[in-house]
Amino acid sequence: MTKERVKKIRSSMNKLLYEKEVVSVVDIFIDLDILSKKDYEDWRFGRINYLERVCKGSLHKLSDTVSEIFKYAREKDLKITTTVYKKWGKGKKTTLRFTKYGKQSIEKRYSSNFMYKNDKKVRKEKIEKIFSEKSEKI
């Protein structure tokens, strides 16, 4: 993975953490234009069998992106939780799949969320510190 790609992923995570305080892998994919909002909504409504099918790039690129997200989360000591994604709309609320074959370990990584471990005030301070460090480097 290139340094530029790593910077984009980390910048996306920082931006989303600042805006939302809780960031999912799907949010990062949308922010990086790996996944369109329309395709995400189609998947959530059950019109797409599995999310990887509509993601831009190879499975290797997706895997590398997710690995970098987790690496950065560990470096920043973020709390990692998982979410069960259920189908939106009418009908049975089935659990949605991220991958073609539904391998549990990969599904769990895709359904992860990241947030700072401390209270809101401390989280905001950490995020602002990250942004101020970046602006000093420029």
Indicate the domain borders of the chain: 3-124
Predicted pLDDT of residue 123? 65
pLDDT in tens, 115-134: 988 766 666 777 777 777 76
How far apart, in whole angstroms, are the C-alpha atoms of residue 78 and residue 40? 25
- Pair 13, 72: CB distance under 8 Å: yes
Predicted local distance difference test score (pLDDT) of residue 58: 93
Task: Convert the pLDDT of each residue in 50-82 to its tens digit.
Answer: 999 999 999 999 999 999 999 999 999 899 999
- Concatenated DSSP letters of 48-69: SSBGGGGSSS-HHHHHHHHHHH
Average pLDDT value over all residues in the chain: 90
